[in-house]
Structure 1
Amino acid sequence: MKTSSHLGTARIITSREFEYENTPDGSGTEVATPVSPAVGAPCVTLHVVRVAPGAAWSPEDTLVEENTAVVYAGSGRVHVGSESREARRASAAYAPTGRALTLTAGPEGLTAYVWRTPLAEGRTPGTDPKVFSTLWDDETRLRGFAGTGQIDPEAAPRATMNFVFWPGAGSAQLCLHCGIQQPGETFNVHLHTHSDEAFIAFEGVGQMYLVDRWIDVEAGDVLFAAPGVLHGARNPHTGSEARRFVTCGGPTPFDPALYDAAGVSSQVV
């Protein structure tokens, strides 16, 4: 049975629990904030934004923070600084410090998940970061991930993770990864020593691991795990009716261990 879980500095927040507030511009745009310092996240804030038809929205302090965004529903345009691109479901954008992120909705409106974080002291933006992409960008991937050693890896087939925005593409602190769990596959349980983890169920139904248990989730739900908290994702469904289970998000700041596991450099280019 699907349940909500709140375990100290680890939470799964179902989409039905989101608490939306209207933006002050009177456009009808609504914002929920399931992950933030108010719930114990030291590094990351995650908004769920329903941009009203024809309206535009930008995160507060966007010019002095890192932002990533994933379009969940609807269509419109996404702007990073002076550049813009058409946006539809699974479109993704990265706005480095100094370049504003703006979402503009088309006639049907636009729903997006948006991650925010200040650039930590000592970190500098990439020289020419990739700013537009899609969750299905499979140019750089992590396959066969066995976890980080705290619990035995599952014997199930291992899921694949796309690195959409990551240090090798110029992302200085935020990252965006897309986990694709085909029927029966698992992205093994792991933790990040120094990073918050905030990721969402983007497509399908599956399970997220949090602290010590697997919890049923569906598209739209959010997982938050503070540094040191075990988490993972799996698609336990098999058979002719089973479909893939897709997650997206990532640790903040990015965790070099994931890139080491993929055999690629974690240096920001």
Structure 2
Amino acid sequence: MATAVGPHLGAHIVRLDVVRIPAGTRWAPEDAAAEENVIVVFAGGGHATSGDEKSDVRRSDAVYAPTGDPYTLTADASGELTAYVWRTTLRPERTPGTAPRRFSNLWRTETQLRGFNGTGEVAAADRTATMNFLFWPGTGTPQLCLHCGFMEPGEYFNVHVHPESEEAFIAFEGEGQLYLADRWYDAVPGDVLFAPPGVPHGTRHPQDDPSAARFATCGGPTPFDPVLYQRAGVSTEVR
């Protein structure tokens, strides 16, 4: 296990770990129930538990474990499982949802944000990406969230800031670029971006070839930023 985002980068709210589980073995972190956790399977497969619920998982599947509930990941006998794990300690003023969604997938399209023009730090591009909301207040998550932004060639998720949130996200699929502070950086699957509160960031697919594979990222601001849901026209109330 490696910590991609944590105190060594100045993160005080969110931590992002990379976990590799050998074939046929189970990972059950002892301190999981003390935190809110979101897990995305990056490679391999197996099954996961969250509280009393269980599901098979493969690449792009996601798991949510609310504060108070443990979770486990078990790799198939045929190969190791690699996952990214977002962790946070729930703030006292935040109340868990009553029946949170525990399993999802990055390509779930039921709730989306389209046409996001950023927050004005950098001139906005007209061709905007689409973002899926997987775990968010509408599914019962009070502090963490999980979004998947996907970009066809030439599309942007425009540069923006979160005034009070730390954001950690990963490049999940394809090749593109990540913006941080004042410049663009090339990114491939597995690369990680961390933006402290108030630091501009965004993503884009800079290629012109319309046949190029899409570029996708996943993660989200912690605590969740209500502006994203307000822009999408959905409630910010934790269900």
1:251 aligns with 2:215: no
Structure 2 partner of 1:131 = 102
Contact in 2 for aligned 1:198/1:250 (Cα 8 Å): yes
Deviation at 1:241, TM superposition (A): 4.1
Alpha-carbon deviation of 1:176? 0.1
The list of structure 1 runs, each at least 4 consecutive aligned residues, that deviate by more than 6 angstroms after superposition, is none
Gaps of 5+ in 1: 1-30
Secondary structure in 2 matching 1:164: strand
* Equivalence map 1:138-157=2 (5 Å): 138-155=109-126, 157=127
* Alignment-derived partner of residue 53 in structure 1: 23
- Report the equivalent of 1:261: 231
1:126-181 CA distances to partner (integer Å, 9 max, x unpaired)? 011000000011100000000012222123x1000000000011011100000011
Q: Give runs of aligned pairs for residues 78-157 of structure 1, distance below 5 A.
A: 78-107=48-77, 108-155=79-126, 157=127
| Contact residue 153 and residue 210 of structure 2 kept, 8 A | no
Q: For residue 76 of structure 2, give the secondary structure of its aligned residue in structure 1.
A: strand
What is the rounded CA distance, in whole Å, between the counterparts of 1:138 and 1:96 in structure 2?
A: 22
State the 1:32 CA deviation. 0.8
In structure 2, distance between residues paired with 1:163 and 1:48: 22
Post-superposition Cα deviations, 1:26-82, rounded to whole Å, max 9, x if no partner, equal xxxxx0101012320010010011111111113452101100000000000011012
Identity between Structure 1 and Structure 2 (%):
59
Query: Structure 1, residues 230-256: CA drift from partner, whole Å, max 9, x if none?
Result: 000000112154110000000001000
Q: What letter is aligned with 1:138? A: T
| Structure 2 gap ranges (5+) | none
For 2:195 and 2:93, the matched residues in 1 are separated by 24
Matched, 1:237 2:237: no
CA distance in 2, matches of 1:120, 1:147: 27
Q: Which amino acid aligns with 1:230?
A: P
What RMSD over aligned residues (CA atoms) do the two structures have, in Å?
1.0
The answer on 1:35 being equivalent to 2:30 is: no
Which whole-Å CA distance do the structure 2 matches of 1:59 and 1:189 have between them?
Answer: 35
TM-score (norm 1): 0.87
Give the SS at the match of 2:64.
strand
The amino acid of 1:244's aligned partner reads: R
- For residue 226 of structure 1, what is the aligned residue in structure 2? 196
Bigger mean CA offset, 49-58 vs 113-122: 49-58
Retained in 2: the 8 A contact 1:37–1:43?
Answer: no
Name the aligned partner's letter for residue 138 of structure 2. Answer: G
